Chains A and B, each alone.
Chain A
Amino acid sequence: MKRELYDILCCPVCKGDLELVVKEENDVEILTGSLICHACSVTYPIEEGIPNLLPQNI
């Protein structure tokens, strides 16, 4: 995902802000990382460029 996409993402459950943690990034976009909702204590993965904001099994 491109960094500009981060501005329009939110927690799918509480709709709150997410913290972005980047593990792997190229010139164009973020390939691997996490989106963390601190309010819900849930980490959503970014894998192979695609953020996964489906409910996560804790």
Chain B
Amino acid sequence: MQRSQTSFHADPNQVYQPAEDSFLLLKTAKSEVKPSDRVLEIGVGSGYVSSGLLSSCQLLVATDKNPHAATIAYASGVPVVRTNLAAGLRGPFDLILFNPPYLPTDPSERIDDWLELALDGGPSGRDVIIRFLQEIPSLLSSEGRVLLLISSLTGPEEVEDLVRKNGFVSTPVAEERVEGGEILLILRLTRC
């Protein structure tokens, strides 16, 4: 479903455009999703992943804090809520997808625009992942699954440790080497 242009002028340059990580997440989500699933994508960006799953599940909703991303994803037919991670949403969801800001970013490197919000994972790269892991227990159904994309730059072992501390088990389900030797990794999380 295409929607008509809105009066808010959304700037695509302020939105993370689909890249290797988005492609890997959609591919993995397509093999994970079931027709009965209620799906939540946090940080919808351009809408690439969510719009690719709309017809494969019972319900899908996506969030983004960035007004440019929310408007562009909505225009591509994705039901969007502007909120911080999933603050304004109530579960339970059966499948939660998150391609978080995972790049380690020193405060001196910050430029403070909307695009940076999609990339900046704080000094360790894990700041947003920590907040996410605290929120998901109240959002996920008892048999629910999470697909979390991280990178070799994010510290996969540290992330898996954080996952365990928050009451989840993680299994790597996809891996891809990208330019510069960075490795993208998708972790599938379920309750212990």
Contact = CB atoms under 8 A, between A and B. Distances in A.
B93 to A, nearest CB: 9
Given A48-B8, A51-B88, A8 B82 contact: no
Interface in A3-53: 4-5, 7-13, 15, 44, 47-53
Contact of A54 (B6, B80, B83): B83
B70 A8 contact: no
Given A50-B74, A53-B87, A5 B6 contact: no
Contacts of B70: 50
Chain A interface size band reads 20 to 34
Contacts of B131: none
Interface residues of B, number: 21
B61 interface: yes
B80 A8 contact: no
Given A50-B80, A50-B81, A54-B82, A15 B65 contact: no
Interface in B62-83: 65, 70-71, 74, 79-83
B155 to A, nearest CB: 29
Contacts of B6: 48-49
27 contacts: A5-B81, A7-B90, A8-B61, A8-B89, A9-B88, A9-B90, A10-B88, A10-B89, A12-B84, A12-B87, A44-B88, A48-B6, A48-B7, A48-B8, A49-B74, A50-B70, A50-B80, A50-B82, A51-B81, A51-B88, A52-B83, A53-B81, A53-B82, A53-B88, A54-B82, A54-B84, A55-B84
Interface of B: 3, 6-8, 59, 61, 65, 70-71, 74, 79-84, 87-91
